[in-house]
């Protein structure tokens, strides 16, 4: 069903990204943490490698990975500080995906080539101060005014807002329709009068990524700014975008498990207590074995889910299950990794301390674990799991 890059090209790309992560990103993790900023030379290298266009179709200047290929790359990015991937994430995922799914050809021509090159960053603006898990109740409004709409409202925790030149904004535009059917997805350039970016949020982890509020004050956009020129489709489109995004997050979590196991094993072999390497103690081995088992289970679930997505163009319940399992698993693995390191695991010069904080977010964004549970249960109870 989905297009894919041929195997040889993909293998070369995967190896190249693996080298880039190992040789360029991993050595810069500590600097990223201290500076709370991705070095500009690394952003340039990411652009040159085409990483901002990994999932954008080739006819619009991207690489066009399918879900299986994308998850392999996301796993590689899980091996390093998660902020690096976060910079790419909105262009290869939630920010651009709605446009790829349902944009008109003209909308795609207008934005996708510069998103693929990384010259333009886009962000996904769904969450609001009073609506997170329940976005069908969002209150940002788009009021019709002749051939235009005037958008007003505040969006919260918007990843990459600071760098974004374009926002996909979900707003209530159809006053005659109830709930989710009233929501449309608008493409709003940042330089439109009335758009203001709030101050950078101070976060628990993923230093180097930014989130901020984005305020819209009577922002005038033409009706043609609605994705696909289809008013009232915004909520469903956002949910479709998040379904695919959840497979990506599950893959990222799986990659992080693998890195954490490597850190655990290396430390356990080096650290000696009571005259022996701690790796020789069965209580340490149990933590390694449990982590490895959860890693393999996450990996298998991600691979299966991505294959279902590529075959059917959707994998709703499976994507929720994969995200739920893999992100909860990486939380447990990160906790064990800190434990295996003892006091060192609490110290910031060890990668596990940073990973412990970074991976915490995965259970919250793109649908919390509780929301995944509700989605899974709803589908399974309907007999559609």
Report which secondary-structure segment, H or E, holds 355: helix 351-358
Q: In sequence order, what are the residues at sequence separation of 6 or more whose Cβ sits closer than 8 angstroms to the Cβ of residue 170?
A: 125, 126, 135, 138, 140, 183, 184, 185, 186, 234, 235, 238
Please give the Cα distance from 256 to 79 (Å, whole number).
5
Closest approach, Cβ 370 to ligand FAD, in A, equals: 3
Active site residue 366: yes
# binding residues, ligand FAD (CB under 6 A): 20
150-209 residues near ligand FAD, rule: CB under 6 A: 157-159, 203
361 interacts with ligand FAD by CB under 6 A: yes
Closest approach, Cβ 38 to ligand FAD, in A, equals: 15
Please give the Cα distance from 102 to 384 (Å, whole number).
25
Closest approach, Cβ 169 to ligand FAD, in A, equals: 9
Please give the Cα distance from 168 to 180 (Å, whole number).
16
212 interacts with ligand FAD by CB under 6 A: no
**8 Å CB contact between 246 and 366:** yes
Q: Which is nearer to ligand FAD, 262 or 370 (CB)?
A: 370
Q: Which is nearer to ligand FAD, 75 or 211 (CB)?
A: 211
370 interacts with ligand FAD by CB under 6 A: yes
Which residue of 20, 52, 124, 186 would you call a contact of ligand FAD, by CB under 6 A?
Answer: 124
CA 361 to chain centre: 10
Please give the Cα distance from 90 to 144 (Å, whole number).
28
Report which secondary-structure segment, H or E, holds 156: strand 148-159
364 interacts with ligand FAD by CB under 6 A: yes
Which residue of 211, 212, 254, 305 would you call a contact of ligand FAD, by CB under 6 A?
Answer: 211
132 interacts with ligand FAD by CB under 6 A: yes
Which residue of 215, 271, 365, 385 would you call a contact of ligand FAD, by CB under 6 A?
Answer: 365
With CA atoms as reference, report the closest residue to 38 among 152, 176, 182, 208.
208
Would you tell me which residues interact with ligand FAD (CB under 6 A)? 123-127, 132-133, 157-159, 203, 211, 361, 364-366, 368, 370-371, 374
Q: Which residues participate in catalysis according to the annotation?
A: 366
């Amino acid at each position: 069903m989905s297009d894919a890059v041929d195997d040889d090209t993909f293998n070369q790309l995967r190896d190249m990204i693996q080298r880039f992560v190992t040789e360029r990103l991993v050595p810069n993790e500590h600097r990223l943490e201290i500076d709370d900023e991705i070095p500009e030379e690394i952003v340039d290298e990411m652009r040159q490698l085409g990483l901002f266009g990994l999932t954008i179709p080739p006819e619009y200047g991207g690489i066009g990975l399918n879900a299986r290929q994308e998850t392999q790359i996301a796993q590689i990015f899980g091996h390093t500080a998660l902020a690096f991937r976060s910079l790419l994430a909105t262009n290869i995922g939630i920010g651009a995906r709605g446009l790829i799914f349902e944009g008109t050809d003209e909308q795609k021509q207008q934005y996708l080539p510069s998103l693929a090159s990384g010259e333009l960053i886009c962000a996904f603006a769904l969450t609001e101060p009073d609506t997170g898990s329940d976005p069908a109740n969002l209150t940002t409004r788009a009021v019709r005014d002749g051939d235009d709409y005037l958008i007003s409202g505040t969006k919260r925790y918007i990843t990459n807002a600071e760098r974004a030149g374009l926002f996909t904004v979900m707003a209530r535009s159809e006053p005659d329709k109830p709930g989710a059917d009233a929501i449309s997805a608008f493409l709003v350039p940042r330089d439109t009068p009335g758009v203001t970016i709030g101050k950078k949020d101070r976060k628990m982890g993923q230093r180097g990524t930014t989130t901020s509020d984005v305020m819209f004050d009577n922002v005038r956009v033409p009706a043609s700014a609605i994705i696909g020129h289809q008013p009232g489709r915004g909520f469903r489109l956002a949910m479709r975008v998040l379904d695919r995004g959840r497979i990506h997050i599950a893959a990222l979590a799986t990659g992080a498990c693998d890195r954490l196991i490597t850190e655990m094993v290396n430390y356990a072999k080096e650290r000696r207590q009571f005259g022996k390497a701690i790796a020789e103690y069965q209580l340490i081995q149990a933590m390694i074995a449990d982590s490895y088992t959860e890693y393999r289970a996450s990996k298998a679930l991600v691979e299966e889910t991505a294959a279902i997505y590529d075959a059917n163009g959707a994998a709703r319940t499976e994507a929720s299950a994969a995200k739920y399992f893999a992100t909860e698993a990486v939380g447990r693995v990160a906790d064990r990794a800190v434990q295996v390191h003892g006091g060192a695991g609490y110290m910031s010069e060890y990668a596990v301390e940073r990973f412990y904080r970074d991976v915490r977010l995965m259970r919250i964004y793109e649908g919390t674990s509780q929301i995944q549970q509700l989605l899974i249960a709803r589908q399974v109870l309907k007999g559609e799991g």
